[in-house]
Structure 1
Amino acid sequence: MMSKEKVSSSISSSSIVKHTLENTPVCTCGSPASLRTSNTRRNPGRAFFGCSNYNMKGLPHCNFFKWADRGQEREQELHKIETDLLRKKDELQKTQEEFQKTREELRKLEEEVRKTMEEVRHWMEEVRKREGKIVKMELEVRRQRTHLRICWAILILLYLLYVRS
């Protein structure tokens, strides 16, 4: 069994150890848990808390077990989640800003289209007025032609009458 002093002196620079030694959990049997190091293939050198009475001859012990770095893993997970949330919040804000810019551009374009439509309406009104004037002038020209033809026909008839008499 490795004592707290040996563990803390061998890896005292580790923030995990500092944090865990300050926050030593209590076993389910009521005694403070002791910090140990795993020697398994799966977790070599990983610190954990176990019952302080484990492997003590004749003393009853519980099956208390807790990874010492578990809190730090959660902190790292939470930090990662927080970082992701902040990144997504920034992305959302940028997207909102882009949306706002696009909305403003659309409003400007809409105003330009509205002005252009007003100009087109005005021009169309002018075209209708001029078209009306042209139609009136054409009617007047037709009437005058008709009058001229009638006058010519009368003149020709009068000439023919004069020539025969």
Structure 2
Amino acid sequence: MPSSSSASSTFQLEYPTCNCGKPSSMRKSKTKENPGRRFLGCGNYEKGKKFWDYFYWIDPAPKEKQMEDNIQALESQNRALLLKCQERENFVQELVKENKELKKKLVAVEGVMVSYK
């Protein structure tokens, strides 16, 4: 009877490779904005140097950070909408002004037409 051999396999997680060719590695953020938040970054990353070409957050942003980001996005959208409203209001004012001038010209033309009758 043939003997059976047991093979043990180990699971090794492979992280994405950066464009520089080095595999990324997992780290924990030490910043005030994202304390302890895990991320993948280029294996060549060194504090104070460029991230190279690979960076990916593993953990979601803290709720407070998400809320701050959402508020900032909404404020930005609000400013853009206010600017559009102001531009449209200016456009409407120009149209009102032009309309008044055209009405004056129409009254003058109608006056000339009456004199030809």
The reply on whether 1:105 has 2:98 as its aligned counterpart is yes
Query: Percent identity, aligned pairs only?
Result: 10
What is the CA–CA distance in structure 1 between the aligned matches of 2:110 and 2:37, rounded to whole Å? Answer: 80
* Equivalent position amino acid for 1:46 in 2: D
State how far apart, in whole Å, the 2-side matches of 1:37 and 1:85 are: 30
- Give the helix-richer structure, 1 or 2: 1
Are 1:87 and 2:80 counterparts?
yes
Q: Which structure has the higher relative contact order (CA within 8 Å, separation 6+)?
A: 2
Contact 2:34–2:62 (CA<8 Å) still a contact in 1?
A: yes
Q: CA deviation at 1:13?
A: 3.1
Describe the superposition over 1:28-80 as per-residue Cα deviations: whole angstroms up to 9, x where unpaired.
xxxxxxxx668xxxxx8427xxxxxxxxxxxxxxxxxxxx7111101111111
Structure 1 residue 121: deviation in Å? 1.1
The 3 A distance-change label for structure 1 pair 120 and 12 is same
| Equivalent position amino acid for 1:115 in 2 | A
Q: What letter is aligned with 2:64?
A: G
TM-score norm. by structure 2 comes to 0.53
Q: 2:33 corresponds to which residue?
A: 15
CA RMSD of aligned residues (A): 2.6
Q: Please tell me whether Structure 1 or Structure 2 has the larger radius of gyration of its CA atoms.
A: 1
In 2, Cα distance between equivalents of 1:72 and 1:105: 49
Amino acid at match of 2:73: K
2:29 alignment partner AA: I
Cα distance change of structure 1 residues 16 and 121 upon mapping to structure 2, 3 Å threshold:
same
Equivalenced residue count is: 73
Runs of 4+ more than 3 Å apart: none
Deviation of residue 14 (structure 1)?
A: 5.4
Q: Any unmatched runs of 5+ in structure 2?
A: 1-27, 39-56
Distance 1:77 1:112 in 2: 52
- Which TM-score applies when normalising by structure 1? 0.39
Q: Which runs of 5+ in 1 are unaligned?
A: 1-9, 18-35, 39-43, 48-67, 125-165
Q: Deviations over 1:57-106 (max 9, x none)?
A: xxxxxxxxxxx711110111111111111111111110110011011111
The separation in 1 between residues aligned to 2:31 and 2:69, in whole angstroms, is 19
- What amino acid does structure 1 have at the position aligned with 2:30? S
